[in-house]
Homo-oligomer: A and B are copies of this chain.
Amino acid sequence: MKTAEIVSVGTELLMGQIADTNAQYIGQVFPELGIAHFYRQTVGDNLDRLTQSLKLALSRSDIVITIGGLGPTEDDITRDGIAAALDDPLIHDDQIAERLRKLFALRKFTWTESQNRQAQRPSCANPIDNPNGTASGLICQKNGKTIIAMPGPKGEFIPMVDGPVRHFLMELCGEEVLHSRLLRICGLGESVVEDRVRPLLNSTNPTIAPYAKPGEVHLRITARAANTELAEALIEPMETRIRSVLGDAIFGAGDTTLEYATLELLKARGLTVSVAESVTGGWIGQRMTSVPGASEVFKGGIISYTKEVKARELGVDPKLLDDPKIGPVSSEVAKQMAVGVRKAFDTDFGLSVTGNAGPTSDEGDKPVGLVYIGIAGPGRPTTEEFQFRGLREDIRYRAGQWALTALRRAILNLG
């Protein structure tokens, strides 16, 4: 089994200005490829310290992944560090330079001499094309060791990992794999999920482990086998058993988000939806439209952040809004918002959310965290009341999760 080690480069990581989500991301890829991963290092933008860290990593791991430090400025020292650690000269790569010049011409950027730094590479390196930015990745192989250098911006890093780097690592490694499948559950708390799957928790291959996430629960099934297919064969019967006790509460697997699962369900049944968002302020719409092709079933919505907009755009009765005993955060208003947006947007479902996310209770005497979700559909409109805890953004996110959960249930209840 080959071993890999990550060396993340950047003073901003040490200073805590950004979270190292890239290291986290590729950390999830190693087990899938059967690569062991025992250490991770983080170093600042300092050539000596980076070189020492790379030498240490090369001394104990087969594959070293560097993240960041491939930009054009003097601060970007990863290329120099790799050259020093591998004792391999840096050379100017004409093909990289040519690609960079074309890119700059296309974007009408001004070419500066410093850009030439991005055309440098250790002589043993093969460049990895980066369609999302100016920094080429590098695969450097020398003395039986491999260093793979990738740029730090997430939009460049992730496609490079998922494409050429994953492919390269699969070729390079591949004996025993650790393969896992994630099941995603909504509408049930972690303790309920755990209770239902308790008899399965002692299984050793595959193992199963539940994780509580905001507004959903994840259940990871992990198997160890000679290859992915054999691991899948171990996972499949376990998944079947889990599905038999959790049923529809499992909305998807892997990366499937609740918004994606909900949109797919709508698509499959030829149904459309619109949203009326008060406390979430557009977040449900943002999540819906994060899914490519959402427009087939998601027509849009109204962000109604004032009473005036609720009344005029959604047809909510102003008397309810002004009634101190009812007001905008109420079951009645949630219902009228859902009915109103369904009518205005001419959709099969109207989904509404109104609530108080805090930090202070500015909705009369309604407590922080109180949220009403309304659904208008082919049947009678329904509403649900929730009391969420946490910070403003937690409450808003959970409101969105439970709104999507409620919509999903309403669709499933159509039979």
Residues on A lying within 8 angstroms of B by beta carbon are 12-21, 23-31, 37-44, 46, 49, 53, 56, 75, 109-110, 112, 132-133, 155, 158-159, 191, 209, 211, 214, 220, 275, 277, 279-286, 288-290, 292-295, 298-306, 308-309, 313, 344-346, 358-360, 362, 389-394, 396
A43 / chain B contacts, CB cutoff of 8 Å: 38-40
The one of B75, B110, B159, B277 that contacts A282, using a Cβ cutoff of 8 Å: B277
Closest Cβ of chain B to A156, distance in Å, is 8
B46 touches A38 (CB 8 A): yes
A49 / chain B contacts, CB cutoff of 8 Å: 38-39
The one of B39, B284, B303, B313 that contacts A41, using a Cβ cutoff of 8 Å: B39
Taken together, the copies of this chain in the complex come to 2
A14 / chain B contacts, CB cutoff of 8 Å: 27, 37-40
A303 / chain B contacts, CB cutoff of 8 Å: 275, 282, 285, 289, 300-303
B132 touches A390 (CB 8 A): yes
A280 / chain B contacts, CB cutoff of 8 Å: 286, 289
Alpha-carbon distance A122/B211, docked complex (angstroms): 26
Alpha-carbon distance A24/B282, docked complex (angstroms): 28
Closest Cβ of chain B to A162, distance in Å, is 11
Known: A286-B282, A299-B308, A306-B295. Is A44-B38 also a contact (CB below 8 A)?
A: yes
Known: A281-B288, A301-B303, A360-B292. Is A41-B40 also a contact (CB below 8 A)?
A: yes
**Can you give 28 contacting A-B residue pairs, CB < 8 Å?**
A14-B37, A14-B38, A14-B40, A19-B20, A19-B24, A20-B24, A40-B42, A41-B42, A42-B42, A112-B191, A132-B391, A158-B391, A275-B282, A280-B289, A281-B290, A282-B284, A283-B285, A285-B285, A289-B305, A290-B392, A290-B393, A292-B392, A293-B362, A295-B305, A298-B305, A299-B309, A300-B304, A300-B306
> Across the two chains, which residue of chain B brings its CB closest to A24?
B16
B19 touches A31 (CB 8 A): no
